[in-house]
Amino acid sequence: MSQPVSNEFTDFVAGKLDLVEEELARQAGADTPFVTEAANHIISAGGKRFRPLLVVICSQLGGRVSDEDLVRAAVVMELTHVASLYHDDVMDEATLRRGAESANQRWGNSVAIMVGDFLFARASETVSRLGTEYVRLQAQTFARLVQGQIAETRGPLAGEDPLQHYLDVVADKTGSLIAAAAVFGGMVSGQSPETLAVLRRFGEEIGIVFQLADDLLDITSTRTGKTPGIDLREGVATLPVLLLRASTDPADQPVKDLLDADLSSDEVLAQALSALRSSHVMDEARADIRARADRARAELAALPEGQARLALAELCDEVVGRSS
Ligand code: FPP
Ligand code: MG
Ligand code: MG
């Protein structure tokens, strides 16, 4: 475990996140009450605000930062993330998001897609106020997000290792935006290119850990605010499933057979989930997640000592903790 972060720093971060929250609600405001309601739907349903948190912490590595720029940078990251969730739920045909009805379930696919576009437009307007460098990184990140989603939709190509394909998808669809959040935090406080490179590597790695841990929760938890086992039913690859499929041990065959069964019935899905939960691959997946978090933590050694660095180390523990 890492050294604890001071209460002062924790309160400071919470204060900035309150400002971010106010601005998010403002940005979701549209010309009609219907669009405002639909745009606020997923924002107000909750969420971890992991990307704004990372922006705020990374903005405190030294140097001056204005509240205006800090809030803008954090809001751009969260709006982009939420916009992508509106689209993702359409692609995944998800009915639940953050414990609430998904937008596509409530208003249909067309509205959900357009509201995602609306929030992304808001993010684009805000990022333009920060400057060209920010716009460039935002655009590059958008391209990676989209390519990650397309690669996930297509699946591994012939001859491609499914595990490597999955890790590449995770890096693109999640690692890229979390890396951008860490870099945005560094940029608003004027960090050197070297520090920004460290933040990018740290953010990408912890972002991958974040998604791997999230995917594990699909198997282990009933309290995610999403339908448990949905990835399994939809045939979306996750780390434990890929480790199981790569196994040549005949003892793993019965679990593989269960995963290959028709999982449309709730009873069969529950059986498959239970078999997977008891499999050795769960421990292997957790060990892999811990090793990646350790790699992310190792990057922090190159950052200036202080509360922000401690907070980033704490974040590593928290992200890993979600999967155990
Ligand atoms: C959630 O993954 C989805 C993402 C991390 C990225 C989605 C990206 C896009 C739809 C493209 C970019 C679009 C815009 C408008 C920026 P998941 O389905 O594995 O996670 P879940 O369990 O939270 O649904
Ligand atoms: Mg999804
Ligand atoms: Mg998805």
**Domain segments of the chain as ranges:** 7-322
310 pLDDT higher than 80:
yes
pLDDT of the residue at 183: 98
pLDDT of the residue at 224: 58
Run of H or E including 81: helix 67-91
Ligand 1 atom with the shortest distance to the CA of 123: 16
pLDDT of the residue at 324: 60
**Closest-lying ligand to the alpha carbon of 226?**
1
One DSSP character per residue, 302-319 reads GSPSSHHHHHHHHHHHHH
pLDDT of the residue at 222: 65
Ligand 1 atom with the shortest distance to the CA of 230: 22
SS3 category, 290:
helix
1 pLDDT higher than 80:
no
Chain segment 95-144, per-residue pLDDT in tens: 999 889 999 999 999 999 999 999 999 999 999 999 999 999 999 999 99
| Alpha-carbon dihedral sign for residues 141, 145, 146, 148 | positive
Chain segment 202-234, per-residue pLDDT in tens: 999 999 999 999 888 888 876 656 667 878 887
CA distance 20 to 26: 10
Q: Is 220 in the pocket of ligand 1 (CB under 6 A)?
A: no
Beta bridge partners of 101: 96
Please state the rounded mean pLDDT for residues 250-266: 91
Specify the residue with its C-alpha closest to ligand 1, atom 3: 88
CA distance 290 to 1: 12
Run of H or E including 119: helix 109-128
CA distance 202 to 179: 7
Average predicted confidence (pLDDT) for the chain:
94
DSSP state of 222: S
Cα(317) to centroid of ligand 3, in Å?
A: 25
Specify the residue with its C-alpha closest to ligand 1, atom 17: 88
Spell out the residues 6+ positions from residue 171 whose beta carbon is closer than 8 angstroms to its own: 148, 204, 207, 208
Q: Is 309 in the pocket of ligand 1 (CB under 6 A)?
A: no
Cα angle, residue 309 at apex, residues 307 and 311 outer, rounded to 5°: 70
Largest CA distance in the chain: 61
By the 8 A CB rule, do 177 and 81 touch?
yes
Chain segment 55-105, per-residue pLDDT in tens: 999 999 998 999 999 999 999 999 999 999 999 999 989 999 988 999 999
Cα(251) to centroid of ligand 1, in Å?
A: 35
Categorize the per-residue pLDDT at 24 as very low, low, confident or very high, splitting at 50, 70 and 90: very high
Cα(3) to centroid of ligand 3, in Å?
A: 35
What is the model's pTM?
0.94
pLDDT of the residue at 152: 93
What topology is assigned to 7-322 in CATH? Farnesyl Diphosphate Synthase (1.10.600)
Residue with tokens 């204060």: 15
Token digits for 172?
A: 């693109």
Decide which of 183 and 262 is more confident. 183
Side chain identity, residue 266:
D
Backbone torsions φ then ψ of 189, nearest 5 degrees:
-105, 15
Q: Is 120 in the pocket of ligand 1 (CB under 6 A)?
A: yes
Q: Is 87 in the pocket of ligand 1 (CB under 6 A)?
A: yes
Q: Is 146 in the pocket of ligand 1 (CB under 6 A)?
A: yes
Specify the residue with its C-alpha closest to ligand 1, atom 6: 173
State the ipTM, two decimals.
0.98
> Between the CA atoms of 115, 226, 320 and 237, what dihedral angle is there, to the nearest 10 degrees?
-90
**Closest-lying ligand to the alpha carbon of 153?**
3
By the 8 A CB rule, do 93 and 235 touch?
no
Please state the rounded mean pLDDT for residues 269-275: 90
Categorize the per-residue pLDDT at 46 as very low, low, confident or very high, splitting at 50, 70 and 90: confident
pLDDT of the residue at 6: 96
Q: Is 138 in the pocket of ligand 1 (CB under 6 A)?
A: no
